[in-house]
Amino acid sequence: MASQSHNIKIHDHFSVSPPSATATSLSLKFFDLFWLRFHPVERIFFYTLPTPQSDPSIFYSKIVPKLKTSLSHTLQHFPPLAGNVVWPHDSPNPIVQYTPGDAVSVLVAESEADFNHVLDNSPHEASESRCLVPHLDSSDSHASIVSLQITLFPNKGFSIGISTHHSVLDGKSSTLFIKAWSSLCKTNDDESSESSSPSLAPELVPFFDRSVIKTPSDLGLNLTIIWTEVLTKLFPTENSDGRCLKLAPFPPRLEDHVRATFALTRADLEKLRKRVLSKWDIVETGEESEPPRLSSFVLTCAYAVVCIAKAIHGVKKEKEKFSFGFTVDCRARLEPPIPDNYFGNCVWGRLVDADPLDFIKEEAFVIIAKSIDSKIKEMSEKGIFHGADSVFSKHASLAKERVEILGVAGSNRFGVYGSDFGWGKPAKVEITSVDRALTIGLAESKDGNGGVEVGLVLNKHVMDLFATLFRHGVSDE
C-alpha cells in the first residue's frame, strides 16, 4: 500500500475537518491580494523523540492519532483554513470560503534519511527538504489554503511540513495556527471526543473580523489598483482572464544549490551593532540623524544580504547590482491599531534606497544597515504607505536594470521554537520555500538567548564564499 518517492515512503493520506464548524467566508483585503498568485510558504518543524516513542508501531498508533485529533480541534477555531480560495462571478475580489465537509490534506510518510544529517545546519543538497513539505493544490477556479505532512524518521524523530497560501495568512498568522495546534496537542488528552472543542488561551484565538482593515483610499494609499489587470500583467502566460487562482510557477532552485542555516549569537549581534554605530557618521547615506539602537532584524538582514551579494559577485563577477526588499507587520502601525491576533495578511513591503552597487562596497554592511533602518523609521514617521505609489514602477525599473532583488521570509519575533506538541520544542525549524527566490529565512535562536538564525539556499560555490564571509565578519580578529 505504501508508495515510494525518493527516500520517502507514503503510509497514509487523509483529510481532517473541524468537528462542527458552520459555513463561513472571508473577504480578501488589500493586504491579501498582493500575494494571490504567490508561491506557498513552506516550513518544516523537526522534533526529536525518545527511542521508544519513535518506534514506528508506537508512532503510528499513538503520536499520529494525537496529532490528527488535536488538528481537528484546532480547525474548529480556524475553520477557514479547511476551506478554499474561490472567486465568485459576482464578487470584485476573491474570497476564502469554508463549507462543512471541507478539510485539510494530511500526508503521513516515513523517511530513510539520516535524521542527524537533516538536523545539521551545514550545507547539504537543497533538494533534500523538498520531500518533507506537501504540495498545495491550486487550479484556475480554487486554491487550497493549508496542507500538511507528518514524516517519521524511525527511532529518531519526526517532522511536520506545512504549506500555506500566502494570500490567506501571513507569517504571524501561520505561526499563530501552529502554536494553537501544538498547545491543544500538548494539553488535551488524545482520547478526547472528536466532537469536543477544547478552548484556546486568549492570545491564541484568531481574530477574523476583516472590517478592521480599511480600503486603500481610507488607508491613505494613493493607488487605484484593478487586481485583475495587475495579475494579468504579472503572469501573462499563466492567466487568461485575470481571475485565475492557480499559483504562479516559482520553481525551487535545486540544481547545484545547497541549503544551510547560520547563527548569529547575541554577542555576534552586539559586535555588528557596535561596528555600524562606530561608522554611522563616516558613511554617507543621507541618513545622518543620531545613531539608533539598531534592532536585531536590521543587523541580521543587512549583514546576511551583504554577505550574499559579495559572495555572488565573488563567484559571478558580472553580478554586481543588488537591492533588498522586506516586509513589516502593520498591525500596530495602523490607525487605529488592529488586534495582534488578526488572522490574515497585515504586512507591507519596502525596498531600500541604497544604490544597487552599494551592496558590494567595502562598507556595504554599514550602508545597508542604515538604509534598512531609515526605511523603518520612515514608515513610523510618515506612515506605512509613504511612497507606495511608486512601488510597482520601482520594481519594474530594477528588473529592467537586471538588479538581483534579495528578500526575507519569517521573523526572529515569531517564536517558532516555542511550538511544543508535547514531545519537546523543535530541534530545528526551516523555511523551505526560501529556495524559490533569493530569500533569507529568519527565526529566533532555538536556545532562547537572543540570537537569530538565518536559513538560505545558494549555488554551492556561492555558499562556500558566503560561509567564509559570514564567519569572518563576526570572528574575533
pLDDT tens digits, 378-408: 998 988 888 877 777 788 789 889 999 999 9
Domain edges within the chain: 3-234, 257-474
Closest CA to 370 of 458, 437, 280, 265: 280
CATH number of 257-474: 3.30.559.10
Q: How far apart are CA 104 and CA 148, in angstroms?
A: 8
Q: How confident is the model at residue 101 (pLDDT cuts 50, 70, 90)?
A: very high
Q: How confident is the model at residue 164 (pLDDT cuts 50, 70, 90)?
A: very high
In 334-390, which ranges are continuous DSSP H helix? 364-382
Closest CA to 229 of 245, 243, 249, 209: 243
CATH number of 3-234: 3.30.559.10
For residue 353, pLDDT beyond 50: yes
Q: Which residues pair with 45 in a beta bridge?
A: 160, 429
What is the per-residue pLDDT for 2?
Answer: 43
Mean pLDDT, residues 95-99 taken together: 98
Q: How far apart are CA 123 and CA 470, in angstroms?
A: 14
Mean pLDDT, residues 458-472 taken together: 98
Cell of 388: 507606495
Question: What does the chain come to in residues?
Answer: 477
Mean pLDDT, residues 68-80 taken together: 97
Residue 466: enclosing H or E segment and its boundaries? helix 460-474
SS3 content of the chain, % helix, strand, coil (to 5): 35, 25, 40
Mean pLDDT, residues 282-287 taken together: 69
For cell 555588528, the residue is: 272
What's this model's pTM, rounded to 2 decimal places? 0.95
What is the per-residue pLDDT for 218?
Answer: 77
Mean pLDDT, residues 332-356 taken together: 95
Q: List, in order, residues 6 or more apart from 372 with CB less than 8 Å away.
A: 298, 301, 302, 324, 326, 352
**pLDDT tens, position by position, 183-194:** 999 998 644 444
For residue 4, pLDDT beyond 60: no
Cell of 10: 507514503
Got the DSSP string for 187-207? Answer: HS-TTS-TT--PPPPGGGS-B
- Looking at the chain, the number of H-run helices and the number of E-run strands are 11, 18
Q: How many CA atoms lie within 13 A of 263 on its CB side?
A: 16
Q: How confident is the model at residue 447 (pLDDT cuts 50, 70, 90)?
A: very high
How many angstroms separate the Cα of 159 from the Cα of each of 146, 221, 255?
16, 42, 24
- Residue type, position 81, single letter: L
* Radius of gyration, alpha carbons of the chain: 22
Q: How far apart are CA 84 and CA 451, in angstroms?
A: 37
**pLDDT tens, position by position, 170-224:** 999 999 999 999 999 999 864 444 446 799 999 999 999 999 998 777 776 665 5
Q: Which residues pair with 153 in a beta bridge?
A: 157
Catalytic residues: 166, 420
Q: List, in order, residues 6 or more apart from 255 with CB less than 8 Å away.
A: none
Mean pLDDT, residues 10-22 taken together: 96
What is the per-residue pLDDT for 60?
Answer: 97
Q: How confident is the model at residue 226 (pLDDT cuts 50, 70, 90)?
A: low
Q: How far apart are CA 288 and CA 377, in angstroms?
A: 12
More confident residue, 356 or 215: 356
Q: Give the relative orientation of helices 460-474 and 296-315 as an angle to the nearest 10 degrees.
A: 130
How many angstroms separate the Cα of 333 from the Cα of each of 141, 336, 455, 462?
34, 8, 28, 37
Cell of 328: 513589516
pLDDT above 70 covers what percent of the chain?
Answer: 90
Q: Which residues pair with 388 in a beta bridge?
A: none
Q: What angle do CA 119, 52, 75 make, to 5 degrees?
A: 70
Q: How confident is the model at residue 237 (pLDDT cuts 50, 70, 90)?
A: low
For residue 303, pLDDT beyond 90: yes
Q: How many CA atoms lie within 13 A of 160 on its CB side?
A: 27
Q: What is the mean pLDDT of the chain?
A: 91
Q: How far apart are CA 100 and CA 103, in angstroms?
A: 8
What is the per-residue pLDDT for 225?
Answer: 54
